[in-house]
Structure formats: structure tokens, C-alpha cells
């Protein structure tokens, strides 16, 4: 069986590894584990995606529910419950789930990758060289490019306004868990407090206009910014900040122009990294990773469909990136108090002015042949293309939409839907109404 190497053990790499193991592939995952504690706020939608990827066990000891507050465009309100995900605990759960699935785990920093059409050789610090026929790059937005000989299937590629996030972590007094986000004249901040007193505050700014001080002065700069915010002072109850740590990282939105080839694939942030305001990073990582096992299976088992599989992966990564980018743009546009300030001006119209969700129009629905996932492989089938789903929809509730649409146009609803069972009839009628169908 084809040996597969995965670089990176975050949610994307883990989801691909588990999916490949379910298909019977031997998988070796190489990762230099996270060196600093981190906390992420995730929604119920993200938790459902993680469970769907087989990562429910990893969540068991990592979640803490909290009420989330939002202060934006001069208004403040409490949103739904946000779950604070402790990344060290979650990462430990990931490793346990991978071991139980039979994934070979190698801990160490990747020193180099040598790739040819015949396979890949990975040098790992303090470990033996690893060899595989297929390589999955899942080391996040800082993942290096590929060897020149493998640069095929070049796509569009995009890069948003250059953005930096300054994550501060310290130990404060114990209390209830909570999280909040608020806008500033030159950016925005997210903050969270765990019940054990671990505090997190992240300031996101525009690289070009921020005028940040040197590295040594950044902790004091951030402390002054927190003290200048009444919301932050109240949130952290002006508690003492002990063992303060600061981690600066890029949060620029990036769509990699090269996301797949005949013997390699990029997933998660290595394929596309979104602005943190556009959507949860874990969710977008999983969005590209969940389809990857079927793409890889096709490239290895059905090379005659290789171009189709690469098109499937590339199109979906780009489509997801554009959708996340437009969602972030609309959030930025909602803050109107500082629309002419450099931070907000650069983001309120990027990447374009196209609607994040197109208006429904039943008359615009059309049938095309497109790549789809069928029985663990990428295949081709007739799909229904809608204004909001330009890549097409194959079936809903087990009902293929293309034949259904043809029947609707020639027979009308009563005859076209007659062969459906009650549950299919209910779901399909709801879908048709959502597409603007008015019988």
C-alpha cells in the first residue's frame, strides 16, 4: 500500500491522517509540537466539524464554555456561548486519537524535504529519514514552498492586507470563564479569561500603519493599550498580570497558488489562511482537510482521474478562501466609525465587492458536469450550479438534483416529486423554496 507522509499535527493534518487510515493507508505524521500555550474561541459549528472529522475524543478535556461579548461600531451586546479551546490539551487529545487509529507519530522539527516524481524524503531533527510516496503539507501558514520540479497546477493565489496579531498571555486571579471582542481606531482585540485565571488578549493591527515599537518594548506597548480600554480593564478586573508572555504572528489572509499535484497536497493554513475575523481558523482548516483523503485516494488509485481530483481540491480551496474573505470584509465594513483610517480602509473592500452570498434565482439554476466525491474517490457527475454554489450541488438527502431539476422543468412539482419518500419530499421542497422556486 502507498506510504503517505503528513507534515503537521494540527486539526487539518490530524483529520487527513484519520481519513486516510479509514481508507486503509499507512500514514506517518511528523510534527514539532506546539511550544506555547494557546486558547481559541470556537462555536458549536466548529465543534460539530471536529466531531465529524473523528476528533471528538480530543475535545473531551479541552473545552470550557463562556459567554461572549461584542463591542463593535459603538454598540455592545452579548452573543451566544463561545467555547474556549485549550490548545495544549486539545493537541494531546489529537495525538492520542492518531495513535489509536494506527498513525505512526514522529516528533521532531523538519529540517528539509527532497521531492521528486518518485517520492519524498524528509529529514527530521534527531530522527531517521522518512520516505513516502505521497506528501501532505499541513504545517500552517509558515509552511515553505515546494521543490521547483513539483510546481504544477499553479492557481490564482491571493494575499490580503498585511496584518499582525500580538497575543498576550498571563496568569491572573481565578474567576468565571469569559471572552469578548472589540474594535479600535487602528484594529481590533480579542480577549478571554479561563476559570483558572489564565488570561489572553490579542491585538490585531495593520502592519503598514501600526508604527509598532521594537520587540523589547512590545509587552509594555500592549499593556498600555489594554489600560487605555475601559472594556479590557473591566474584563480583567484590573487584576495583576503575572508571568506575562507575548507572541507576535502574522494573520494576513493568504491563498497559496499551488495547493496540489500528482504526489502532494496542501491543506489547512498551508493551503489557505484566513483573517481571524473572517472565521475560526480550525473550521477553515478542516474545510479543506476533510476532502483531502478522497483526493489523495484518487491520485494514487485512479491516476487517470488525477487532473479531475486536482481541479476538485484547487477549486474548493479557492472557493472557501473567497467566501471567508468576503465574510471578513463585511464584518470590517460594519464598523463605520473609523472607515477612513488605514486599518479599516484597507479591509472594508478586500478582496472585491462581490456579495458574500448571492441572491437566490431559480431561473439561474443550471446543470453542468463537475468533480464530485463518490465512494471515497473523486468522480465526475452532473450537478446543479446555483448563484451561491458556483461549484455545484450533486445531491440533497440522497436525491440527485440534476435529474430532479429536469423533471421539474418538464413535468411540474407534483409529478417530479412523486417518487420521493416523505422525508426526502420535505427536505427537497425546503431546498427548492430556498432557491427561489415558487410552484
Q: Is residue 143 a contact partner of residue 137, using CB atoms and an 8 Å limit?
A: yes
Q: Give the single-character DSSP code of 290.
A: T
pLDDT band at 191 (very low <50, low <70, confident <90, very high): very high
Cα separation, 296 vs 291, in Å, equals 9
- Rounded mean pLDDT, 339-350: 96
- Rounded mean pLDDT, 223-252: 92
What pLDDT sits at residue 154? 52
Length of the chain equals 439
Could you tell me the pTM of the whole model? 0.92
Cell numbers at 155, concatenated: 492557481
What pLDDT sits at residue 145? 76
What pLDDT sits at residue 150? 53
Name the residue with higher pLDDT: 394 or 55: 394
Identify the helix (H) or strand (E) that includes residue 428: helix 422-434
Task: Convert the pLDDT of each residue in 107-153 to its tens digit.
Answer: 999 999 999 888 999 999 999 999 999 999 999 988 887 655 455 55
What pLDDT sits at residue 1? 61
Task: Convert the pLDDT of each residue in 72-115 to its tens digit.
Answer: 999 998 877 888 888 888 888 899 999 999 999 999 999 999 99
What pLDDT sits at residue 252? 95
For residue 63, pLDDT beyond 80: yes
- Rounded mean pLDDT, 279-308: 91
Q: Which of 310, 322, 317 is nearest to 352 (CA)?
A: 322
Cell numbers at 9, concatenated: 499535527
Question: For the chain, which domains are there?
Answer: 4-38+88-160+253-334 (3.50.50.60), 362-434 (no CATH)
Give every strand in the sheet of 272-273, ordered side by side. 158-159, 254-255, 272-273
What pLDDT sits at residue 155? 62
Amino acid at each position: 500500500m502507498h506510504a503517505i507522509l503528513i507534515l503537521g499535527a494540527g486539526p487539518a493534518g490530524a483529520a487527513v491522517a484519520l481519513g486516510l487510515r479509514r481508507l486503509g493507508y499507512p500514514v506517518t505524521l511528523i510534527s514539532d509540537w506546539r511550544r506555547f500555550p494557546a486558547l481559541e474561541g470556537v462555536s458549536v459549528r466548529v465543534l460539530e466539524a471536529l466531531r465529524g472529522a473523528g476528533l471528538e475524543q480530543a475535545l473531551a478535556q479541552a473545552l470550557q464554555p463562556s459567554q461572549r461579548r461584542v463591542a463593535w461600531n459603538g454598540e455592545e451586546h452579548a452573543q451566544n456561548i463561545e467555547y474556549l479551546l485549550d490548545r495544549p490539551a486539545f493537541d494531546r487529545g489529537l495525538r492520542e486519537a492518531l495513535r489509536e487509529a494506527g498513525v505512526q507519530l514522529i516528533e521532531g522539527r523538519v529540517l528539509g524535504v527532497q521531492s521528486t516524481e518518485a517520492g519524498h524524503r524528509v529529514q527530521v531533527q534527531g530522527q531517521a529519514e522518512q520516505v513516502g510516496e505521497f506528501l501532505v503539507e499541513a504545517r500552517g501558514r509558515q509552511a515553505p514552498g515546494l521543490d521547483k520540479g513539483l510546481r504544477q497546477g499553479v492557481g490564482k493565489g491571493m494575499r490580503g492586507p498585511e496584518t499582525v496579531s500580538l497575543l498576550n498571555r498571563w496568569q491572573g486571579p481565578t474567576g468565571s470563564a469569559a471572552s469578548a471582542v472589540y474594535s479600535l481606531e487602528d484594529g481590533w482585540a480579542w480577549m478571554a479569561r479561563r476559570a483558572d485565571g489564565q488570561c489572553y488578549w490579542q491585538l490585531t493591527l495593520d502592519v503598514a500603519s501600526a508604527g509598532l515599537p521594537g520587540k523589547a518594548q512590545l509587552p509594555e506597548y500592549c499593556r498600555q493599550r489594554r489600560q487605555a480600554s475601559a472594556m479590557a480593564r473591566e474584563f480583567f478586573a484590573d487584576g495583576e498580570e503575572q508571568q506575562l508572555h507575548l507572541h507576535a504572528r502574522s494573520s494576513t489572509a493568504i491563498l497559496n497558488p499551488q495547493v496540489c499535484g500528482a504526489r502532494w497536497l496542501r491543506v489547512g493554513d498551508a493551503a489557505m489562511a484566513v483573517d481571524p475575523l473572517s472565521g475560526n481558523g480550525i473550521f477553515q482548516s478542516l474545510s479543506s482537510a476533510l476532502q483531502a483523503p478522497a483526493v489523495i485516494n484518487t491520485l494514487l488509485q485512479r491516476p487517470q482521474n488525477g487532473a479531475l481530483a486536482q481541479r476538485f481540491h484547487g477549486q474548493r480551496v479557492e472557493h472557501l478562501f473567497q467566501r471567508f474573505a468576503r465574510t471578513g470584509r463585511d464584518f470590517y465594513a460594519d464598523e463605520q466609525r473609523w472607515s477612513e483610517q488605514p486599518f479599516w480602509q484597507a479591509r472594508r473592500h478586500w478582496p472585491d465587492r462581490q456579495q458574500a452570498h448571492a441572491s437566490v434565482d431559480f431561473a439561474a439554476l443550471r446543470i453542468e458536469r463537475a468533480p464530485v466525491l463518490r465512494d471515497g474517490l473523486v468522480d465526475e457527475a452532473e450537478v446543479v450550479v446555483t448563484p451561491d454554489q458556483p461549484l455545484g450541488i450533486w445531491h440533497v438527502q440522497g436525491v440527485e438534483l440534476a435529474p430532479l431539476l429536469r423533471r421539474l422543468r418538464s413535468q411540474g412539482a407534483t409529478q417530479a416529486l412523486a417518487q420521493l419518500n416523505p422525508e426526502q419530499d420535505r427536505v427537497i421542497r425546503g431546498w427548492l423554496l430556498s432557491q427561489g422556486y415558487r410552484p
